[in-house]
Amino acid sequence: MATKKAGSAAKKTVKKSPAPSKPTTTTTKVTTVKAIETASPVKSTRLTSNRTFIASALIAEFIGTFLLTAVVMGTRGEPLYVAFSLVAIVLTVGAISGAHVNPLLTVGAWVTRKMTTLRALGYIVAQVLGAAFALVVLTLFIGAAPAPDASSAMMGQAQTPELFKVAALTDKSHWYVFFAELVGATIFAFAVANARRITERSAQALTVGLGLLVAVLFAVTAAGYASANAIVNPAVALAIGGVADWAKIDWVAFAAYFIAPLIGGVLGFALQDVLHAGQNRKDV
């Protein structure tokens, strides 16, 4: 009798090991997104805004100087009228340009580094053009005035309207006017430099106007002793005959009405800076 081995009944199961899988390579695609540059539009907007602001300031200086020159010519330089007219001009255009309306203030602010060279040049050009335009406009009005009739001439009432012009300087009055303009400009620039630190607009305008009143009263009185006029504004001086004959320039008169006020403007601003710096050191 044949006997089966117990182990023969069970089949051996051979477990096959799984075939090694192929290594998988993961590819990561990097997508680079370029950022849109937004700095250029912002920079362009700022540049446009800055140009618009400068253009507005130049127009304000032109209008302010035009009005001031017209008042000086119409009132024959009466200090009180000119001073209060300047108060109104500062209140009108002061927030736009600072209402310099006078090259001596612009030069003083530029030398003491309170404004850029380009802005200072633009202000001076606008001021000169404003004064020249006032001369042209008032000359047209004077030209349209009717001539006096014969009856008025017989009664001695014939007066041909004419614009205000400064008196011609003599050899003896040149240097009196020079120093009168120098001191007057220094007083005015000092008052304006101090007014720049005042935040309240009406008080600032009043300080500027009264500063001009004091400056012009001093300069006019001092020059009057030499039978001459004082202007304390080089732009206005161009319009009212600071130089009578451009073909034959009197250089001493030119220095009196144009150079002396500019020097005074620098001295006034510098003096205010020195005193303010000394006050700051004292407070510390």
Query: With bands split at pLDDT 50, 70 and 90, how would you rate the model's confidence at 9?
Result: very low
Q: Is pTM, for the whole model, over 0.75? A: yes
Burial of 138 (0-12, 13-18, 19+ CB in 10 A): middle
How far is residue 77's CA from residue 229's CA, in Å, rounded to a whole number?
9
C-alpha distance from residue 93 to each of 55, 56, 63, 64, 142 (Å): 13, 10, 9, 7, 28
Name the more confident of 19 and 89.
89
How far is residue 281's CA from residue 284's CA, in Å, rounded to a whole number?
5
pLDDT in tens, 145-201: 776 666 665 665 556 678 888 888 887 888 999 999 999 999 999 999 999 988 899
51 contacts 87 by C-beta, under 8 angstroms: no
> Would the pLDDT of 23 be above 70?
no
CATH 2.30.42.10 fits 52-143+163-283, yes or no: no
Query: With bands split at pLDDT 50, 70 and 90, how would you rate the model's confidence at 10?
Result: very low
Q: Can you list the pairs that 276-281 forms with residues at least 24 positions away whose Cβ atoms lie under 8 Å?
A: 276/197
Burial of 41 (0-12, 13-18, 19+ CB in 10 A): exposed
How far is residue 236's CA from residue 21's CA, in Å, rounded to a whole number?
98
How far is residue 178's CA from residue 252's CA, in Å, rounded to a whole number?
8
230 contacts 181 by C-beta, under 8 angstroms: yes
pLDDT in tens, 25-58: 555 555 555 555 554 555 566 656 667 778 999 9
Work out the average pLDDT over 192-211: 93
The amino acid sitting at 93 is V
How far is residue 263's CA from residue 65's CA, in Å, rounded to a whole number?
20
Name the more confident of 11 and 223.
223
Q: Where are the alpha helices (DSSP H) in 75-116?
A: 79-97, 103-111
134 contacts 70 by C-beta, under 8 angstroms: yes
243 contacts 254 by C-beta, under 8 angstroms: yes
In the block, residue with structure tokens 């993961």: 26
CA nearest to 100, candidates 70, 49, 62: 62
